Structure 1
Amino acid sequence: MASQENTRKRSFRNFDEAAENILEMLSKQLKINTLFIAKNDGQTNEIVKSRNAKKELVVEGTLLPLKNTFCSLSLNYGEKPLVIEDISKSKLTESLEIAAHFGNGSFIGIPVYYESGEIYGTICGLDNVPFEFSEENLYTFETMSALLTYVLELEKANNQIKTLSSPLVPVTTGVAILPVIGEITTQRAQTIIDDILMKTGEINLEYLIIDVSGVSQINTSVGEYLLKLVNILQVIGIVPVITGIQPYMALKIPHFAANLKGILIESNLETALKKLGFVLMQNCEKNSVRF
């Protein structure tokens, strides 16, 4: 039971939660006062997450010119951790105005990259008193930087999947198809509804064909979401057309089909398009016999 609770605590849904967890893990290994993750665009440096033990040296949400920050030194140093054991004596920090605030304190920082090599920002440690960094500390920072890269790529992929999860395929003026493919969770179903409402607000639609022939898994909750989408479309003046309902759907959620009374339901896209007045014709000119 305890292990399950720990797993839940360490899980995260996005980069923001991952960053918080990583700083928490680092703080248990390093007794340095401040740990933080910064994002930069080449000009400005934003503190997206910070963790201060005793004294608040770095404030979350702070936005500064990149050239005036310790992070800029780390980025210029390269892929390995930059260690400054005494900020007051380092030639690297003598041009930084903020260095005076930290006396003979210490700094460690390493860049965080996207997989493409583009820089996201940095993960850093900072103190206003001397701190001795071990080889293990350096290795830990390298590992956490790599982990953040992995999380960034996962978040990017997840956002791309969300974008592709509800593709609206235009057929002609006023008619589009929504192919719903794969396993539908309640979260994805809600994403589809939100996305479709936004897209239908951008184009003038009369009919939306919702094709569910590619759905691999469905349950009662998902059925309710699809019904919700149908009802919303009717309210905003778009005629919903359902195609591809599989036998297992009717067996698994019998009320689904029952609640679609009055809605145009067809076995496949071809019959639905014919019902709307479209005719699919194969171009047989090359195979035709001319007399």
Structure 2
Amino acid sequence: MNNEQRGILVGNKEQVKKFGNFDEVASHILALLSKQIGINSLFIAKNDGQTNDILKVHNKKKTLVEEGSSMPLSQSYCNLSVNHGSQPLVIEDVSENELTRSMKVTENFGRGTFVGIPVYYSDHTVYGTICGLDDQTYSFSEEDLTTFETMSTLLTYVLELEKANQQIQTLTAPIVPIMKGVAIVPVIGEITDSRAEFIIKHILEKCSIEPMDHLIIDVSGVHQINSVVGEYLLKIVNILKVIGVTPVITGIQPYMAVKVPHFASALKGVLIEANLEAALKRLGFIVMKESK
């Protein structure tokens, strides 16, 4: 399984389910929890120390929590969960508990029940929380609370996988400055949907930070060029043109042009050279070797 795939155990059989990102995993985890635990609302929130953002929600009968909503962290139940530590915080009656009865948010939930546990990064800093909420009294079993702890641990694992994958993506498509106004992005390995989107985002961010006249895209390290890969490369080329950066493509092998003929024809008007040295010469730069 590569870094873009996450597997979880479903029922008694090990079924590997592929997910594209953390959000997809989060939605699946909430759906699994909802099947086991009868509480009305389950949600995953992220906080930055100031604001509590509700990322994913699974409501059953009533919409008690809105996906995409946010509030000051200090006014949220999630903050209580973070302060409580790594064990689940269970509040059986939010209207009576000393931690919650005076909070403004409690007005919406009557004699409701809350459970929450922090989700951590591997360095033990807090990402956010995974929580359950109801406007009715709900009693949790030991198994329920153990499941919450397990899902929190699983989310930590997925966060680290996603972080590692982003680092790998950066390493396999770094933008390397060569001289003022000129940089090269060597694209290495297999181009998947997520990698292509990452490369495009990476290029746009880099170009917005540092003025760039020419960006050389070297595809000599790409495992294969097919119609899908060709479309992504064309998309990158067109985006560069729109933002005023001249694209230069290097490393296209003859067999690539033969295999995807429409790709080569679509690149008419784009500078294409065999390698980096030829590209730099085409741009008017002289490559000099230092004599010993």
Structure 1 stretches lacking a partner, 5+ long: 1-7, 285-291
The root-mean-square deviation of aligned C-alpha atoms, in Å, is 3.5
1:180-213 per-position Cα deviation (integer Å, ceiling 9, x unaligned): 21112355445545654564565241x4333222
Specify whether residues 278 and 142 from structure 1 end up closer, same or farther in structure 2 by C-alpha distance, changes over 3 A only: same
Q: 1:257 to 1:100 in 2, by over 3 A?
A: closer
1:171 deviation in Å?
2.0
Match of 1:289 in 2: none
Match for residue 280 of structure 1 among 266, 283, 288: 288
- The Cα of 1:148 is off from its aligned counterpart by 1.8
**Rg: which structure is higher?**
1
Paired residues in the alignment total 278
Q: Closer, same or farther in 2 for the Cα pair 1:143/1:97, shift >3 Å?
A: same
- Seen in structure 2, the aligned counterparts of structure 1 residues 67 and 135 have a Cα distance that, compared at 3 Å, is same
The alpha-carbon distance between structure 1 residues 49 and 253, as it changes in their structure 2 partners (threshold 3 A), is closer
Q: How far does the alpha carbon of each residue in 1:35-89 deviate from its partner, in whole angstroms, 9 at most, with x for none?
A: 2222222233233333332333333344333333322222122111122234444
Q: 1:163 to 1:30 in 2, by over 3 A?
A: same
Unaligned runs of 5+ in 2: 1-14
Q: TM-score, normalised by structure 2?
A: 0.77
Q: What does 1:207-286 align with in structure 2 at a 5 Å threshold? A: 207-227=214-234, 229-230=236-237, 240-257=247-264, 264-275=271-282, 276-284=284-292
In 2, distance between residues paired with 1:170 and 1:110? 44
Secondary structure at the aligned position of 2:187 is classed as: strand
Is 1:39–2:25 an aligned residue pair? no
Distance in 2 of aligned mates of 1:59 and 1:263: 48
Q: Sort the Cα spacing of 1:66 and 1:220 in 2 relative to 1 into closer, same or farther, 3 A.
A: closer
AA at the equivalent of 2:33: L
C-alpha deviation, 1:250, in angstroms: 3.9
Runs (4+) of structure 1 exceeding 6 A deviation are 234-237
Q: Give TM-score scaled by structure 1 length.
A: 0.77
Identity %, equivalent residues: 63
Counterparts of 2:185 and 2:103 in 1: how far apart (Å)? 55
1:68 has 2:75 as partner: yes
- Contact between 2:185 and 2:215, CA under 8 Å: does it hold in 1? yes
Correspondence for 1:139 among 135, 139, 146: 146
